[in-house]
Structure 1
């Protein structure tokens, strides 16, 4: 894989330089300065939380564990990496940078965090992008909107180098999903399933792009369920797993739902949601409005609810009345890349602005029109959530819902199917299904 990355990286770097040149010119800045960041110390403790690198830092180079380091870019000059390699016998000291990318940077090694100051340009003329944990108390990030807006808008368009890393993240994630399914079939607990996932992926919890969701039975109805029961239920009727993996800081985000033994009707519902999901994936085309695709998904899923006997109303009535939202209460998906919910999803243009969410759909995370190079998730679902269903019982259309059938499915929790999909100039590329096929 490194040979492929080595061949693709120069063009990736050239793209970042071009975008940054424009962004700095618009903001009137001469330099881009990006701290990798530093670990955050726990309150009243001398232990740190796991380090999470600044995404603007890892956009330029595949270093995700270099706290205290800095990236400096000046248009027309070679990018510079100020690499912190402290003298330390308490922890493992980062090794000096090596790999396909190092020849593209001027690399300066410093032994103390404060020594980086001498290697940075004049900050008054610099766009410093980061949070309050830059790594040096004397340096405060200014995050100029003119620069941020331009970079965030264009981050939606992945370079071939980035797509190759996302393919690898998908391959790692699908290996974990296969192991998790086997553990479920073998009767493991939620914690045991998660441990099988980590072992297959080869990553720690802190290295994953997000906290894994591993829900058995009714727990599949909790959209962000992260509790991990230690004991397996007496009867594992259903299993929902939403878990991803990382590759040099790039994420995959994959969800699958499985039926246990003697759950034929639930399996039929899974099959219908899966078919609907694949039909939505096929619509990931340049020019497609993502909000319109989200609303279309509501109509299709309302049809699935009617087909399987949960509602007697038309799909149109189910969407207009909000019934479909009780069974499908989240957005169809989001942009993905260096962050699992990538930035710029609502941005109207490279100069800023916001594209509003459709009325009645507050949880949609992407409102832009799809263009070639974007990577999005497609993740429809049908759930049996007690709180939301209780709100429907007092509505005038309550009689159009078969409550006995709904109650019979509460024990399964819910269904979500999620793929990561590249919008291209022609057919979409399904990173997730392609990775599963390789297995």
Structure 2
């Protein structure tokens, strides 16, 4: 049995995972409508991308739909699946012999066939010849809008494809829905990468201290994820916000590259996830830089933790994700009221949109081969809500068994949103202004777990210290 594995201590991903994915997509397509014989799925893999105009390439990451169906490491490939019999054909670039000087051994077609467990392997320049012999009635290519980015997948193309009848609309919603529900083999890869990421977060918590820079925390995470877990990539740019930066939701970008010096008394909000065989983790840990919570930090952290705990208790098949978001908001506002920041009726606060002042993002998202995985707003699924707060949800579906989601409530004190609440009489009436202003430079807290949805509950794959007592005890080991 062929596997993807970075080393003997890392998880062995069986190539049967991708074969089963191909079969699942074929079955789903055939159940969706009746196709004429000689219908084929055609996917195009990712290409090497040069750094600007240089001869240096970015680290290659396989296109996610192609990874889902074929699990191929190499760039420049194509894949074909017959809907008649499920036969899979991988097409690889025909490389000049001198490439072996620079790239090492060039695999033969038989070696590729054994490596990726497809039925056949041909060269990319044989695509037109293949389809000419197959005489397809229809070629299904992939195009569809990603509801998170607004960008569209580009349909496969090759010289001569214009001779054949093609459809680029049918495949996308089918394959995207297949990706929403994880197979047992996918769950084990996701469990592994979440464990690696959890352990990397714990290493950061042990090493971080006032006087260090944010990027040193990022460096610890990257080192452990790669050196121990074999994760060459992260799933997104690491967010290592401390102090006021912890209220910047997507901190760590090029203009704010995790470069602040950490101060005693800061809260740290570190949102980082490793990536293994294309599968993502997305975990956030919030903790005090000096290892000891002060009273204000305890209040905000426990409000977020209680919101997270309430969701994990209720999340299971058949539960509305919108309801889970509202549950988290309701619990968090109630705890802020009990802590003296808010006053009045919690339901009225929610109706006024106050929840979105403290948590301007959604409760979480689907996760898998993409950190914000496909399937959020497909045709036939609930449309994006429009109310404050829930309008930011990346999906609004009823949960199904074997979905995999993040649960990430947060509470932030963001200047522009604080000013908005203070200036709005419909919100201001719920604020104890003097207490509220005390938190203006607090930053924020987010707790994010990676959660497997089951029929009768859920399982959290993020294994890190979570309560105040657990964090303080763990960090005391420094």
Partner of 2:78: 70
Partner of 1:193: 217
Partner of 2:340: 309
In structure 2, which of residues 199, 204, 209 is the aligned counterpart of residue 175 of structure 1?
A: 199
Q: CA deviation at 1:59?
A: 0.7
When the two structures are superposed, what TM-score results if normalisation uses the length of structure 2? 0.80
Partner of 2:448: 418
Q: 1:377 to 1:236 in 2, by over 3 A?
A: same
**Contact kept? 1:237, 1:263, Cα under 8 Å:** no
Q: CA deviation at 1:427?
A: 2.4
Range that drifts further, 330-339 or 273-282: 273-282
Unpaired runs of 5+ residues, structure 2, are 1-9, 144-152
Partner of 1:59: 68
Q: 1:362 to 1:150 in 2, by over 3 A?
A: same
How far apart, in 2, do the equivalents of 1:86 and 1:236 lie?
57
Range that drifts further, 253-262 or 426-435: 426-435
**Contact kept? 1:240, 1:416, Cα under 8 Å:** yes
**Contact kept? 2:155, 2:168, Cα under 8 Å:** no
In structure 2, which of residues 168, 183, 192 is the aligned counterpart of residue 144 of structure 1?
A: 168
Q: 1:54 to 1:393 in 2, by over 3 A?
A: same
Partner of 2:5: none
Q: How does 1:29-178 map to 2 (within 5 A)?
A: 30-63=39-72, 65-75=73-83, 76-84=85-93, 86-87=95-96, 88=99, 92=103, 96=107, 102=115, 104-108=117-121, 110=123, 114=125, 116-119=127-130, 125-129=138-142, 131-132=153-154, 136=158, 144-178=168-202
Q: CA deviation at 1:274?
A: 1.5
Q: 1:98 to 1:58 in 2, by over 3 A?
A: farther
Aligned length, in residue pairs: 432
Asked if 1:223 corresponds to 2:252, the answer is: no
How far apart, in 2, do the equivalents of 1:207 and 1:23 lie?
36
How far apart, in 2, do the equivalents of 1:31 and 1:340 lie?
29
When the two structures are superposed, what TM-score results if normalisation uses the length of structure 1? 0.86
SS in 2 for 1:59: helix
**Contact kept? 2:214, 2:262, Cα under 8 Å:** no
Post-superposition CA distance 1:69-121 (Å, at most 9, x none)? 111100204211112363326853686497998473134254xx545544456
Q: CA deviation at 1:290?
A: 0.8
SS in 2 for 1:242: strand
Partner of 2:387: 359
Q: How does 1:276-355 map to 2 (within 5 A)?
A: 276-347=307-378, 349=380, 354-355=382-383
How far apart, in 1, do the equivalents of 2:234 and 2:214 lie?
17
How far apart, in 2, do the equivalents of 1:27 and 1:406 lie?
65
Post-superposition CA distance 1:210-241 (Å, at most 9, x none)? 11111111101000001234352343511001
Range that drifts further, 78-87 or 16-25: 16-25
How far apart, in 2, do the equivalents of 1:268 and 1:154 lie?
41
**Contact kept? 1:187, 1:236, Cα under 8 Å:** no
SS in 2 for 1:173: helix
How far apart, in 1, do the equivalents of 2:298 and 2:138 lie?
60
Post-superposition CA distance 1:330-384 (Å, at most 9, x none)? 00011111111111112353xxx55231522321111111111111111100000
How far apart, in 1, do the equivalents of 2:331 and 2:105 lie?
51
**Contact kept? 2:244, 2:443, Cα under 8 Å:** yes
Range that drifts further, 41-50 or 135-144: 135-144
**Contact kept? 2:90, 2:121, Cα under 8 Å:** yes
Range that drifts further, 37-46 or 253-262: 37-46
Range that drifts further, 270-279 or 91-100: 91-100
Partner of 1:376: 405
**Contact kept? 2:213, 2:258, Cα under 8 Å:** yes
Post-superposition CA distance 1:149-172 (Å, at most 9, x none)? 122123211111111111111012
Post-superposition CA distance 1:22-59 (Å, at most 9, x none)? 45746997000111121334555554444332211111
SS in 2 for 1:169: helix
**Contact kept? 2:363, 2:408, Cα under 8 Å:** yes
Unpaired runs of 5+ residues, structure 1, are none
**Contact kept? 1:157, 1:374, Cα under 8 Å:** yes
Let me know the Cα RMSD of the aligned residues.
3.4
How far apart, in 2, do the equivalents of 1:278 and 1:316 lie?
20
**Contact kept? 2:76, 2:92, Cα under 8 Å:** yes
